[in-house]
């Protein structure tokens, strides 16, 4: 089956850069995705990597290394509104179900 | 631009009662699923469907039923509510997957269910 590991918590200050790591185990690979979830809200899509390398979307970037089964989400110029939980996700062997990591809670301090 | 719509947003049930959480999407997605999320926890898959008339079990299916009579709708039924089913439930939809396509899953706003 699939399994993903992420740090449970990360704390950083406004304006800083933070990296959230994700390691995964999966038999069939359909890319690595990242989702953001604010307290009381639904997860929303942030970024997706199908191939090795860096994908940039504004202040957020995501990186993938398929040979290492590893990816990370990079958040730059942190803002208070970035305080949320962040989940990495892969699809299962058949490209159907999304399997989510346990989530990393990011706290941004003033 | 509705996306995924689920109702109700909040519900309190007594132990043993049954209820249905409704979910509809207007993006013509083949794949739909239900997750539950417990406090401080990740998302656990309850049931999923890859098209009308096709459903299957996820990680935690016990106590829940689903059906998929149309592409748009995917209701989740709690058969006999138990306090252990107190949770936040998310309906989600996506295109079916392959590399470079269908790798975004869209969530409804969530349904907060309390069983007393």
SS (HEC) of B26-93: CCCCCEEEEEEECCCCCEEEEEEEEECCEEEECCCCCCEEECCCCCCECCEEECCCCHHHCEEEEEEE
Distance (Å, whole) CA B79 – CA B15: 11
> Is pLDDT larger for residue A29 or for residue B30?
B30
Check: CB of residue B29 under 8 Å from CB of residue B76: no
With 90 as the cut, is the pLDDT of residue A81 above it?
yes
Q: How far is B61 from chain A (nearest CA, A)?
A: 14
Q: Which of residues 42-81 of A touch B (CB under 8 A)?
A: 42-45, 48, 50
Query: What is the C-alpha to C-alpha distance for residues B84 and B113, in angstroms, rounded to an integer?
Result: 11
SS3 A82: helix
The chain A residue lying nearest B5, using CA atoms, is: A42
Give dist(CA B67, CA B75) in Å, integer.
6
Cβ–Cβ below 8 Å for B43 and A42: no
In this structure, what is the dihedral angle of CA atoms B75, A87, B86, B27, given to the nearest 10 degrees? Answer: -20
pLDDT of residue B98: 55
CB contact under 8 A, A43 and B107: yes
B23 touches chain A (CB under 8 A): no
Partners of B33 on chain A (C-beta within 8 Å) are 97-98
Distance CA A75, CA A68 (A): 21
B67/B46 Cα distance (integer angstroms): 13
Across A16-28, average pLDDT: 93
Torsion of CA B35, B75, A37, A94, to 10 degrees: 50
Q: Which residues pair with A3 in a beta bridge?
A: A25
Confidence of residue A27 (pLDDT cuts 50, 70, 90): confident
Please state, rounded to an integer, the average pLDDT across all residues of chain B.
Answer: 92
Residue B102 or residue A24, greater confidence: A24
Could A45 and B33 be called an inter-chain contact, meaning their C-beta atoms sit closer than 8 Å? no
pLDDT at residue A1 is higher than 90:
no
Choosing among A5, A34, A41, A97, which should be mutated to test the B contact, i.e. which has the most B CBs within 10 A?
A97
Distance from CA of A54 to the nearest CA of B (A): 15
* Per-residue confidence (pLDDT) for residue A47, from 0 to 100: 92
> pLDDT per residue over B38-91, tens digit each?
987 789 999 999 999 999 999 999 999 999 999 999 999 999 999 999 999 999
């Amino acid at each position: 089956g699939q399994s993903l590991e992420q740090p449970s918590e990360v704390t950083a200050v406004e304006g800083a850069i933070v990296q959230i790591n994700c390691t995964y185990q999966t038999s069939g690979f359909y890319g690595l995705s990242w989702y953001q979830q604010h307290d009381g809200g639904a997860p929303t899509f942030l970024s997706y990597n199908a191939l090795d390398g860096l994908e940039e979307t504004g202040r957020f970037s995501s990186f993938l290394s398929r040979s290492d089964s590893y990816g990370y989400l990079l958040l730059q110029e942190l803002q208070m509104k970035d305080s949320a939980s962040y989940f990495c996700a892969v699809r299962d062997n058949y490209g159907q179900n999304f399997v989510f990591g346990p989530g990393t809670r990011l706290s941004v301090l003033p | 631009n509705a996306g995924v719509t689920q109702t109700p947003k909040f519900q309190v049930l007594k132990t043993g009662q049954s209820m249905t959480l409704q979910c509809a999407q207007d993006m013509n997605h083949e794949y739909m699923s239900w997750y539950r999320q417990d406090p401080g926890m990740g998302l656990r898959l309850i049931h999923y469907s890859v098209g009308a008339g096709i459903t299957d079990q996820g990680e935690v299916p016990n106590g829940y039923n689903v059906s998929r009579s149309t592409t748009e709708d995917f209701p989740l039924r709690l058969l006999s509510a138990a306090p252990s089913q107190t949770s936040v439930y998310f309906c989600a939809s996506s295109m079916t997957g392959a590399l470079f396509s269908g790798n975004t899953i869209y969530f409804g706003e969530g349904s907060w269910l309390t069983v007393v």
